[in-house]
Amino acid sequence: MRRKSRTKIDSFDNKLLVLTLVLTIVGLVVLADASAPLAERQFNDKFFFVKQQAVWAFVGVVALLVFSKTKYLIWDKIATLIFILGFLSLFLVFIPSIGREFLGARRWVIVGPLSFQPSEFIKLALTIYLAKLASKNKKPISFFIPIILVTAIIMLQPDLGTTMVILAISMSQIFISGINMFYFIGAGLAGGLLSFVLIVTSSYRKDRLLTFLQQTEDPLGKGYHIRQILYALGAGGVFGVGLGQSLQKYLFLPETATDSIFAIIAEETGFLGASLVIIVFAVLTLRILKIAKSAPDTFSKIFAVGVAAWIGGQAFLNLGSMVSLVPLTGIPLPFFSYGGNALVSILSAIGILLNISKYAKESK
């Protein structure tokens, strides 16, 4: 008879730690390069974005180190509280005095000098909460209620890209929890139908889909963004135009500090550099899945799978939109794109994973 027990290992997964820190540092360097022209134009300081991101990176690394020393089971105990706080924070964007609208979307909360996106925190909160539900063998409806509530509020902002990432996290956790496939397939079909309805009933989402299907049309209008991305990718060739030598970042390419930062990487480092970025994300995702495989209990296993889907899924959506595999959805690239609380949330999640990696299943 096989018996599994939790056994503490001397140290956590050093490879995951090193890979995370390298990505964080390289991300700051890339952001400093890609965002300089935009920062100088908007704030008269070419290092504006990277200085802010560096502060958040420091906070995130501190959180990573603290959480790596905090026994992971504490998150199981306070998961419900974390989820409630995260869910309530989503409503802050609708309060006129602190919520801010930009380009037709209300996704940001600004309090004094501090600005953040509650939707980034809810990714971590929901990942923890669904892992708790799975560990308690809750009924299928218990999984779907929080998912529906969260996605509904985020779509009111509206933010289809974040909704897709949250669905990737949620469905991966539900699948691995061993739920009846009837419910899983039914939820997938319902989600697909709802996505279709949301696209055809929204003019800007419909325009993005049509632009994806007809990329050669309206190059100076609706197709401008994707055309400029493809120009950047093509200009990079195999070896790139050289570090710091991008032309597209000089206000030709929109969103160089956020959604389109990979296009600048590809332009400056070429096919080789772009491929290396993709490989690193694949290695990071597989490393996290390795922790999930040896996780000591259901909670830690489901949490690790959710984080893998979070980082891997978000990277896929961003990179896929850059090379026209999927429509542009406004998804930032983890570790690279400007967004402080997004970086803190990911680093916090990896800190929890590092603590989980201290424990392993011992079979006797």
Q: Domain tally for the chain? A: 1
- Domain assignment present for residue 172? The answer is yes
User: What is the CB neighbour count within 10 angstroms for residue 361?
Assistant: 14
Tell which wins on pLDDT, 51 or 98.
Answer: 51
Sequence-distant contacts of 196-203: CB under 8 A, at least 24 apart:
198/155, 198/160, 202/158
In this prediction the pTM is 0.90
CA distance 261 to 264: 5
- Domain assignment present for residue 7? The answer is no
Sequence-distant contacts of 146-154: CB under 8 A, at least 24 apart:
146/83, 146/87, 149/87, 150/87, 150/90, 150/122, 150/126, 153/87, 153/90, 153/91, 154/90, 154/119, 154/122
Mean pLDDT across the stretch 25-47?
93
What pLDDT does residue 95 have? 86
The pLDDT tens digits of the residues spanning 239-261 come to 999 988 898 888 788 888 888 99
Label residue 89 by pLDDT band (50, 70, 90). very high
Residue 330 has pLDDT above 80, yes or no: no
What pLDDT does residue 333 have? 94
CA distance 359 to 309: 21
DSSP 326: S
3 state DSSP class of 34: helix
- Domain assignment present for residue 10? The answer is no
- Domain assignment present for residue 167? The answer is yes
Tell which wins on pLDDT, 126 or 115.
Answer: 126
What pLDDT does residue 161 have? 84
**Which two structure tokens, joined as six digits, stand for 44?**
């008269």
What pLDDT does residue 100 have? 77
Residue 178 has pLDDT above 50, yes or no: yes
What pLDDT does residue 33 have? 94
**Which two structure tokens, joined as six digits, stand for 15?**
């490879």
- Domain assignment present for residue 6? The answer is no
Label residue 108 by pLDDT band (50, 70, 90). confident
114-116: strand order across its sheet: 99-102, 105-111, 114-116
**Which two structure tokens, joined as six digits, stand for 255?**
């969103």
- Phi and psi based region of residue 339 (left: phi greater than 0; alpha: psi -120 to 50; beta: remaining): left
Q: Which domain holds residue 252?
A: 18-363
**Which two structure tokens, joined as six digits, stand for 239?**
């070896």
Residue 191 has pLDDT above 80, yes or no: no
Residue 199 has pLDDT above 80, yes or no: no
Q: Of 136-150, 199-213, 275-289, which one has max mean pLDDT?
A: 275-289
Nearest alpha carbon to residue 30 among 345, 346, 343: 343
Length of the chain: 364
What pLDDT does residue 17 have? 95
Instruction: Report in angstroms the alpha-carbon separations of 298 from 76, 82, 235, 294, 357.
Output: 11, 19, 47, 11, 14
User: What is the CB neighbour count within 10 angstroms for residue 94?
Assistant: 13
- Domain assignment present for residue 259? The answer is yes
CB 82 within 8 A of CB 98: no
CB 98 within 8 A of CB 111: yes
Residue 76 has pLDDT above 80, yes or no: yes
- Domain assignment present for residue 203? The answer is yes
Label residue 216 by pLDDT band (50, 70, 90). low
Mean pLDDT across the stretch 254-275?
92
3 state DSSP class of 32: helix
CA distance 17 to 323: 29
Q: Of 59-63, 144-148, 239-243, 247-251, which one has max mean pLDDT?
A: 59-63
User: What is the CB neighbour count within 10 angstroms for residue 92?
Assistant: 16
- Domain assignment present for residue 13? The answer is no
Using only C-alpha atoms, what is the Rg of the chain? 21
Residue 234 has pLDDT above 50, yes or no: yes
Alpha helices in the chain (DSSP H): 14-43, 48-69, 73-77, 79-89, 118-135, 140-155, 160-176, 181-200, 203-213, 224-236, 261-293, 298-322, 340-356
Mean pLDDT across the stretch 295-315?
95
What pLDDT does residue 364 have? 31
Label residue 1 by pLDDT band (50, 70, 90). very low
3 state DSSP class of 358: coil
What pLDDT does residue 10 have? 54
Residue 61 has pLDDT above 60, yes or no: yes
What pLDDT does residue 211 have? 64
Query: What is the average pLDDT value for the chain, to the nearest integer?
Result: 86
